[in-house]
Amino acid sequence: MFKGSNVALVTPFKKGELDDETYIKLIHFHIKNGTNGLVPAGTTGESPTLSHDEHERVIELCVKESNGKLPVFAGTGSNSTEEAISLTTHAEKIGANGALIVTPYYNKPTQEGLYQHYKAINDKCGIPIIIYNIPGRSVIDMTVDTMARLYELKNIIGVKDATGDLERVILTQKKIGKDFIQLTGNDDNALEFNRRGGKGAISVTANIAPKLCSDFQKLSVKNDEESQNKANELNNILQPVHHSMFVESNPSPVKYAAKLLDLCDDDVRLPLVKVTDATKEIVKKALKSAKLI
């Protein structure tokens, strides 16, 4: 149900407020351009600076507008277990297909704490849960053993792996099995990630290059030589774009790229700021190299 190119949707703002009209247009843009799944209210969606009501509204709009055409895995994580339960049960109530739940940041829980956090959410909901393991933002790293324990629970189905450790893909598959869905959170390693057993990506770049990312993902999981050669070609085209999206803090670069493509404005909420002129040039050059502009 959740594989291939899944977009970590940006949240457009206008004068500091949610821009519902543009957000709806973005959702339909992805439906038309080959994106395989929608992930609202994640890091790229600036969830840390969304109010609780805004967080819920972003998910509601995504579910309503996608209307079953694409699966919606809502970002419902928090470093408060009770808040994560509240956001996840709300997402379930309004019809989200699943939840992407980040490991608790700042608190620095132990592995047992991580297990109990996810178990508490699992026990309160009835939709699939994907673990979001991103030590670079959360500080803590969920081990393969802890994920294996969680996979025994009814709702835990996979992981968005943003560790950057490609050996982890093989270790996880050996420990947990092929049915445990592994998605990369790092666009730049998606080709090798899939070759080692991954099923796709939750992608920042897909915001601005949905068809390229979708075509790449389809080819990258095929075993024939022609598909792999084409996947290599698309990967080479996409690499400069991937790297330009992280010259400054995400999602400032991707929002600037989206502005260049007339998809949305480049407004971000403090403490994030718009990209510098130097970064603008890097982004422009990358988009031109991929023939996106």
Q: Which residues, including other chains, have CB under 8 Å from residue 293's CB and lie 6 or more apart?
A: 260, 261, 284, 287
Q: How far from the centroid of its chain's Cα atoms is residue 160's Cα?
A: 8
Which of 3, 118, 160, 199 is an active site residue? 160
Q: How far apart are CA 160 and CA 182, in angstroms?
A: 6
User: What is the number of other CB atoms lying within 10 angstroms of the CB of residue 102?
Assistant: 22
Q: 74: which strand partners?
A: 99
Which of 132, 151, 255, 280 is an active site residue? 132
Contact status, residue 151 vs residue 180, Cβ threshold 8 Å: yes
Structure tokens that stand for 167 in this block: 């050996």
Specify whether 132 is catalytic.
yes
Dihedral-angle region of residue 164 (phi above 0 means left; psi in -120 to 50 means alpha; beta otherwise): left
**Which residues are tagged catalytic?**
132, 160
